[in-house]
Amino acid sequence: MPMSGSMASPTGSVDGKTIRDRVRPASRAELEDIPWLRTLTPAERRRAEAALVVGEAEPGDLVCRIGRSPTYWFGVVQGLLKMSNDNSDGTSMTYSGLPPGGWFGEGTALKREPYRYNIQALRRSVVAGLPVDDFHWLLDHSIGFNRFVMNQLNERLAQFIAAREADRLNDPDARVARNLAALFNPVLFPGVGELLRITQQELAYLIGLSRQRVNEALQTLQARGAIRVEYGGLRVLDLQALRSGAAA
């Protein structure tokens, strides 16, 4: 089943192929990492698994593009994506990072309206897609799926309120702490766990600070016992401290 419509072409693919050209059925291991499948009855799960596909996104590939109509509900199996929008002055505003386990765009899929944001791969990623028609079929037939989607919408609303508050903070350390807390959200991003695979440059892209300033903030947060900087990622030690801005 080819991905189309909202699965946009890449901005510069190494192999000259779009994400649609790299679509394949989900493996058993990938299916086991999709959290909402566990809310379904056996019959519902068989239908969903038969419809699910995955695509491999290269850095810079657009998974969703502003103005395109949704044809899939998407989730991150591996890698890291960002949700952003383009300002009239040519700059870009990032709304959220999307690490493993995160499913996104349910509001757009519910309303079947064009995307109001871009979803772009920051690194090589594996993205799963459930066709919109199957998404609506599950909404019509599965109580467990409805609860999952409602919980997603509720948690995402709280996330965006917190993000708006973080953007108004003058303290860069607090901004980094709040943004990290969002990426470690166990409801929206259950695939992250306690270790987030992310580089300081990727984090800088998501937060809108320089890599050097992000590095300083991470060192401060580590000294306060909120995180531990490890090879290839960050380990959360005190999520509540991050959510409060890791105040000393």
Banded model confidence at residue 89, pLDDT cuts 50, 70, 90: low
- Tell me what the mean pLDDT of segment 17-27 comes to: 80
C-alpha angle 63-192-141 in degrees, rounded to nearest 5: 65
Q: What is the pLDDT of residues 30-44, one digit of tens each?
A: 999 999 999 999 999
Query: Contact 185/104 with Cβ under 8 angstroms?
Result: no
Report percent pLDDT > 90 for the chain. 67
Domain holding 27, by residue range, is 19-153
Query: Contact 81/23 with Cβ under 8 angstroms?
Result: no
Q: Collapsing DSSP states into helix, strand and coil, what is residue 85?
A: strand
Res 13 pLDDT > 50:
no
Same domain, 98 and 133: yes
Adjacent-strand bridge partners of 128: 54, 75
- Looking at residue 124, which CATH number applies to its domain? 2.60.120.10
Query: Contact 117/64 with Cβ under 8 angstroms?
Result: yes
Domain count, the chain: 2
Q: Collapsing DSSP states into helix, strand and coil, what is residue 229?
A: strand
Q: What does the pLDDT read at residue 87? A: 67
Q: What does the pLDDT read at residue 115? A: 95
Banded model confidence at residue 9, pLDDT cuts 50, 70, 90: very low
What is the overall mean pLDDT for the chain?
A: 87
C-alpha angle 76-82-87 in degrees, rounded to nearest 5: 150
Q: Is residue 159 part of a domain?
A: no
Q: Is residue 164 part of a domain?
A: no
Q: Exposed, middle or buried by CB within 10 Å (0-12, 13-18, 19+), for 110?
A: middle
